[in-house]
Amino acid sequence: DQQVKQNSPSLSVQEGRISILNCDYTNSMFDYFLWYKKYPAEGPTFLISISSIKDKNEDGRFTVFLNKSAKHLSLHIVPSQPGDSAVYFCAASVGGSQGNLIFGKGTKLSVKP
């Protein structure tokens, strides 16, 4: 049973518009959430994270929102750029521990010029 779900395998957005990537989780013990970005033939790279004590974290064009009651988080990219085209993985863990970091299957974002 998947504890972290990214139900949209792909998303296509026009350059300059907002990209919204969604992630749902089932384990209420998760208290630390991360987004990773992955380009082809490269390893995932950390993008942004959020602790469960917050409901929003912003870093430049990237904002992550956390809705604990709905067990849902989302990543907003504004404005989207062609260089943002990549696969985005949502991940979650308990106690901030990396040892049990659980990943979703990823969403492939395509930003069209």
Partner 1 sequence: DAGVIQSPRHEVTEMGQEVTLRCKPISGHDYLFWYRQTMMRGLELLIYFNNNVPIDDSGMPEDRFSAKMPNASFSTLKIQPSEPRDSAVYFCASTSDSMNTEAFFGQGTRLTVV
Rounded CA-CA distance 74/33 in Å is 10
Single residue of 26, 46, 58, 59 touching partner 1 by CB under 8 A: 46
CB of 95 to partner 1, least distance (A): 7
Nearest to 32 by CA among 97, 78, 89, 109: 97
Residues in binding contact with partner 1, number by CB under 8 A? 24
Output 21 or 34, the one with its CB closest to partner 1. 34
Q: Which stretch binds partner 1 (CB under 8 A): 17-25, 31-39, 59-67, 71-79?
A: 31-39
Q: Which positions from 51 through 70 interact with partner 1, judged by CB under 8 A? A: 51
Tokens of 21: 């990537």
**Residue 26 region by backbone torsions, left for phi larger than 0, else alpha for psi between -120 and 50, else beta:** alpha
